[in-house]
Structure 1
């Protein structure tokens, strides 16, 4: 088949357009996730990531509270960016230490380190000031009242949605926020859990329900001992 000069230009233009249409659209860049990132587990449970990074196999993982979901393989999405899609799924959970490991999808989410966090550290002791970051109450700080093994209680304000949030002391990740509980020693003076208000109470009482957290170093050691996803965790 022979074409005139004008026809050849037209055919070339059409072929170029067809080639351009055949090239797939660029994939959306992976979204950064790390300590303090608000999430929805199973599409409904609002929680917060403790930290994100890589386990001993090189897999991208993140931690949050176990009570955010009672099912393995529950999908996890970003609370503030649902259009990003499923960033990962719950790979394993330990109800005793209240932690879940999320296996991140590297095509959707990339682990990042929480600003200002230099590494991990041991659980705080009585009198240590700690701070937490969470979906519901943001950044709050308070004194540590008590430590009992892997558990510790602090006066850092926390509410629903903060579960799984990072507890930081002097720039180091020391704990995973579990919830509001009265430590055992308080049981001797009655049902304080029913008396003390949430820190979000309109009265803004100076004393409110202490927040329970678990040692993050203990959590990582537990996952490592069990050879679970998250074993040998290192922060991004």
Structure 2
């Protein structure tokens, strides 16, 4: 009798184990917008500036050019299980931006991430405008605009940024006016330096191809 019970228990345990075995649930798509953290080429941690569609209807985004090179895969820092969600397709060393083409089956685009909402693209901020950014490393920070360096098409602000915030959207209200590219001196002490978004858009349109005719979500 004891042997029969032991065999019966073993059979029940095996059946329970089999019931619990099945294919792993597929990871959902990555939710991405201006301010989302991205991983470029499996290594570089950066921030997405904006996401939307170009004139051909492709789902595209922008980040800082120094984050990687064309051809590199893009994954979401908050949903790596989604796998590769896009690839960097082009970059500008002069203006330090890069264009990303996303797989629409892998991405849910949004216009709000954290404390930043993007409803449109506008002219550069000027002193004493207050601008804000949403970044992978330091989240939502704001600061005064020191000025637009017309000769370089860049703007200095007093927002806190560190490594990983590269590419962060710079907004005045809900208008995208620039991207974070660097800081001067010491992180979160020295001024932030970023490229004006109107210059980036003009360059993308002049080049043509992926990204031309871009409009944010």
TM-score (norm 2): 0.83
Query: Hey, which of these two has a bigger chunk of strand by percent?
Result: 2
Which residue of the other structure, out of 189, 196, 219, is the alignment partner of 2:200? 219
Tell me the distance in 2 between the aligned counterparts of 1:230 and 1:27: 30
2:180–2:193 contact (8 Å) kept in structure 1: yes
- Partner of 1:198 in structure 2? 187
- Partner of 2:129 in structure 1? 128
Alignment of 1:229 with 2:210, yes or no, is: yes
The root-mean-square deviation of aligned C-alpha atoms, in Å, is 1.8
Q: What displacement does 1:120 show?
A: 1.3
- Partner of 2:11 in structure 1? none
Q: How does 1:138-157 map to 2 (within 5 A)?
A: 138-149=139-150, 150-157=153-160
Q: How does 1:20-35 map to 2 (within 5 A)?
A: 28-35=27-34
Tell me the distance in 1 between the aligned counterparts of 2:109 and 2:205: 19
**SS of aligned partner of 2:71:** coil
TM-score (norm 1): 0.76
**SS of aligned partner of 2:42:** coil
Q: What displacement does 1:37 show?
A: 0.5
- Partner of 2:174 in structure 1? 171
Structure 2, gaps ≥5 residues long: 1-21
Q: What displacement does 1:61 show?
A: 0.4
1:60–1:110 contact (8 Å) kept in structure 2: no
Q: How does 1:1-236 map to 2 (within 5 A)?
A: 28-69=27-68, 71-114=69-112, 116-149=117-150, 150-181=153-184, 193=185, 197-199=186-188, 208-236=189-217
Tell me the distance in 1 between the aligned counterparts of 2:71 and 2:56: 19
Tell me the distance in 2 between the aligned counterparts of 1:198 and 1:35: 21
Structure 1, gaps ≥5 residues long: 1-20, 182-192, 200-207
2:119–2:216 contact (8 Å) kept in structure 1: no
Residues 169-190 of structure 1: CA distance to partner in whole angstroms, max 9, x if unpaired? 0211111110113xxxxxxxxx
Q: What displacement does 1:95 show?
A: 1.1
- What is the number of equivalent residue pairs in this alignment? 191
- Partner of 2:6 in structure 1? none
Superposition misfits of 4+ residues, deviation over 6 angstroms? 24-27
Tell me the distance in 2 between the aligned counterparts of 1:54 and 1:228: 12
